[in-house]
Amino acid sequence: MRLTTKGRFAVTAMIDLAMNAQYNAVKLNAISERQKISLSYLEQLFSKLRRAGLVESIRGPGGGYILGKPADQINIAQIITAAEDKLDATLCNRKANCHGGAPCITHGLWENLNQTIDNYLSNITLASLLEQENQNKNSEHVVSLTHIH
């Protein structure tokens, strides 16, 4: 199983959006510059994220994107699913027909891995990642202050 660039960039862009859209809509070119992701790629991703209800587009001069729901109601599994369509470790797309119409001998192993990954990513919200990022920034600030003396 692979988490593709689509999924990774979608998560990165959504974290950036959550960090920067607290007061105003965020333009994709700003995310593109901050995260070094091509604007055309972001446009494709945000189209998928919008269809999934994870972001909303705001038109007009102050336009851009905002979160489609509160950060504590958006989990990483939802973002990856919207961007990638699915994350699947099986070779049969979870159909259990990988060995001549029947499950292969390792089908259960890969299906359990799918479930474990989905459970893990479903329990991480954008809000929890933002909180973690803020804690990291605060601890870096404290460390830098202690080195000043």
What is the tally of structural domains in the chain?
1
Q: Residue 65: which H helix or E strand, with range?
A: strand 64-67
CATH of the domain at 17: 1.10.10.10
Q: Per-residue confidence at 6, pLDDT binned at 50, 70, 90?
A: very high
Q: What is each CA distance from 137 to 9, 10, 32, in whole angstroms?
A: 22, 22, 22
Angle at 36 (CA atoms; ends 48, 56), nearest 5 degrees: 30
- Tracing tokens 């007061």 back to the chain, one arrives at 23
Tell whether 32 is covered by a domain.
yes
| pLDDT above 70 (res 147) | no
Q: 149 in a domain, yes or no?
A: no
Work out the number of other CB atoms within 10 angstroms of the CB of residue 39. 13
- 112: domain range? 5-144
User: Would 42 be classed as within a structural domain?
Assistant: yes
Tens-digit pLDDT profile for residues 34-50: 999 999 999 999 999 99
Q: What is the pLDDT of residue 144?
A: 52
For the chain, the average pLDDT equals 88
**Residue 133 included in any domain:** yes
pTM of the model: 0.83
Tokens of 48: 């998928």
Is 100 part of any domain?
yes
Question: For residue 55, what are the β-bridge partners?
Answer: 67
DSSP summary character for residue 22: S
Band of pLDDT at residue 3, cut at 50, 70 and 90: confident
